[in-house]
Each structure stands twice: as structure tokens, then as C-alpha cells.
Amino acid sequence: MTVAIVLSVVLLGLVLLLALVLPSVTSPIVPFGVRVPAQHAGDPTVLRQERIYRWRVLISGVITAGAGIATFAVTGDPLLLPVSVLVLVGVWYGCFSLANQEIRAAKAAGGWYQGLHQGITVDTELRTNPPRFPWLWLAPALLITAATVVIGVLSYPTMPGTLAVHYGAHGAPDRVVAKSVGSAFSLVFVQIGMTALLAGMAAAITRSRPDIDPAQPVGSARWSRRYMSLSARALLALVATIDLGMMLSSLLMWTGTITSWAPLVVAVPILAAVVATVVVLARNNRERGGSEAETGLTHRDDDKYWRGGLVYVNRQDHALLVPRRFGLGWTINVGNPRASMLLAGVVALIVLVIILRLGS
């Protein structure tokens, strides 16, 4: 079994595992992206949809992943790995969407919000005393990127005349290009772009609007601050790991080292960092509850701002990032004009990678 097949099995397995565990780490008052009162978090419809969702994801996911891996093993086409992941994510969203629609229907039919006092709670100290940006957690990414630049500049005169820029399904280079600044430093440019983009997102997280529970405002605000700081640190640790993988990959290219395990140099550290991030954030997510006396208020029914339970569109909300409705982390407020700038940065980074690869 080639390195690429092992990598595809691990990656598809992680995506499938993540899809199965997310309902357990999501806030119980937004099951499958639907806002429900706390007293209906354990409604039979919600519990039934969780079971059905997992069975759908498990069966369809195993079939999709198995078909993709088998086809990849026969044809050896490296494009089948990302295609299989995209198909698996599409299956995942389809199962999520079905559960979302069923819970929405049950909520509307049962009048779950009738007679309840809805409210909004704001942490006013976020303007005067927001969570601090974790500069020390950004330092590793900056140091790794700077070290890569220095090593690349010093090594450039002695680099091979041709550089391997792509590896095939069996771990052997299938594309080499003439040495140039663009080809030799292509991953360095990506490092710089990724570091700037994810550092900006970490800064936005520390200034984002938390989803504070009006039933327990003090404890919820305290937990939200901790979660914002933890999320920013996790994101910066992830970008440092990505930079490290790209640094090691650049070293292999600059020294002309040919090895079958080259794809693992980038993939393994990143996958390990993603798993660690999910575990840490999920553990923190389970510590939402507190002993604070409830106020008698419940969250506002704001489903109208969430398209399909995943995409947040609210032009009246000035927040750029808001907590996800399903899973962990944060998502963009598409209704905020600044969101287009962030998306433009992502697109620019992708275009940069394509230009450097095709033009080198």
C-alpha cells in the first residue's frame, strides 16, 4: 500500500470521525443549527434525528470513502483524494441538512417558543477590556517562516538546477521545474500568506461577538471569553504547524531529496494539529454549564439569520465572526461588508499557489 493510499485512508477516516462526533460537542440549544429553548434540547425529535444522522453519515460515508480509496488504488490519480474528501463533505452536509429540516419542522409545529421570554445579553466589557491577542502564540509561526526564508536565501546558490514541485500517487516526483525564485520560494510565499491570513482571523476572533446565554449571563460571558482566547491560540498553533510542514517540504525540494514519504512531511503534522485542536476545543465546549441562578430568559429565536443552519447573514450585526451553529470554532457573517475582504484574502492565497505552481 503506497504512502498516498495510507494518507487518503487517514484523511477520509478523520473527516468521517469528525462528522460523527460533532453533534456531541455542539451546544445542545442549537442542534443541527436550529435554535431551541433549553427545555426542548432533549426533545424526542432532536434525539431521534441525532441517531438517524449518525447512521446516515456512517453508512453513506463508508461507501463513499471505500469507493474513493478503491478507485484511487486502481487508477493512481492523485486528484481522486481531494475529490473523495469533497464528496464525503457533501454527503455530510446532506445528512446535516435533513436533520436540520426535521427539527425546524418539529419546532414550528410544536410552538416551542410560545409563551417564553426571549432576550439578548451583551458583554459590555468586550469594548473596554477585550480578550488579549496571544502574541506569544504567533511567535512560533513567525520564527519558522523567517527561518525558512533565511535558509532558502542562503541555500539558493547551491540548489539543484531542477526542483521537484509535485509528487505522484506512489510518492515519486512527477513534475520538476527549472530553479527560479518563483519555484524555489513558492511554499515560502504560501507560508507568509497563511500566517498573515490566520493571524488576522485569530485577531478577529478576540474581537468577535460571543453567543451569551441570557439565562446565565455572567457564567456564559466568562466561558465565552475563555473560549475566544482558546480558539485564537489553537488557530495560531495550527498555522505554526502548517508553516513547519511547508518548511520541511521546502528543505526536501531545495536539497533534491527524493523519498516516498515526502507527502507525509506536510500532511502528518497538520492532521495531528487538527485532531489536537478539535479535542481541546471539544473538551472546553463541554464545560459550558455553571451553577449560576437562571434569569428566566431564553435565547432569541434567530434562525432567520442562518441559511441552512450553517451560513450566517445579518447586515444589522457588525460582528465579522460569530460562533458556529454546528461544530466548533467560528464562521463569517456574510452580511458584514468586511467579510468580502476576508474571502478575497482566501481567494488571493489560492490563486497565488496556482500561479506559482503553473508558472514556475
Grid coordinates of 25: 460537542
Low-confidence ranges of the chain (pLDDT < 50): 1, 360
Assess whether 67 and 121 both reside in one domain.
no
Tens of pLDDT, residue by residue over 281-315, are 776 665 665 666 778 888 888 899 999 888 999 88
Assess whether 153 and 298 both reside in one domain.
yes
C-alpha count within 13 angstroms, C-beta hemisphere, residue 251:
14
Grid coordinates of 360: 514556475
Assess whether 282 and 220 both reside in one domain.
yes
Q: For residue 255, what pLDDT is reported?
A: 84
Assess whether 63 and 142 both reside in one domain.
no
Q: For residue 1, what pLDDT is reported?
A: 46
Q: For residue 338, what pLDDT is reported?
A: 78
In terms of phi and psi (left: phi > 0; alpha: psi -120 to 50; beta: otherwise), the region of 296 is: left
Last residue of a domain, one of 116, 138, 153: 116
Assess whether 212 and 304 both reside in one domain.
yes
Assess whether 193 and 220 both reside in one domain.
yes
Assess whether 276 and 154 both reside in one domain.
yes
Last residue of a domain, one of 116, 140, 159: 116
Assess whether 99 and 176 both reside in one domain.
no
**Nearest residue to 53 (alpha-carbon basis) of 15, 103, 2:** 103
Its sign, for the CA torsion 21, 27, 30, 31, is positive
DSSP class per residue in 207-219: TSPP---TTSHHH
Last residue of a domain, one of 52, 82, 116: 116
Q: For residue 263, what pLDDT is reported?
A: 64
Taking a C-beta distance cutoff of 8 angstroms, is the pair 306, 312 a contact? Answer: yes
Assess whether 210 and 220 both reside in one domain.
yes
Assess whether 326 and 194 both reside in one domain.
yes
Q: For residue 4, what pLDDT is reported?
A: 58
Assess whether 6 and 111 both reside in one domain.
yes
The size of the chain, in residues, is: 360
Assess whether 99 and 147 both reside in one domain.
no
Grid coordinates of 124: 459590555
Range of the domain at 35: 1-116
d(CA 123, CA 210): 8
Structural domain total, the chain: 2
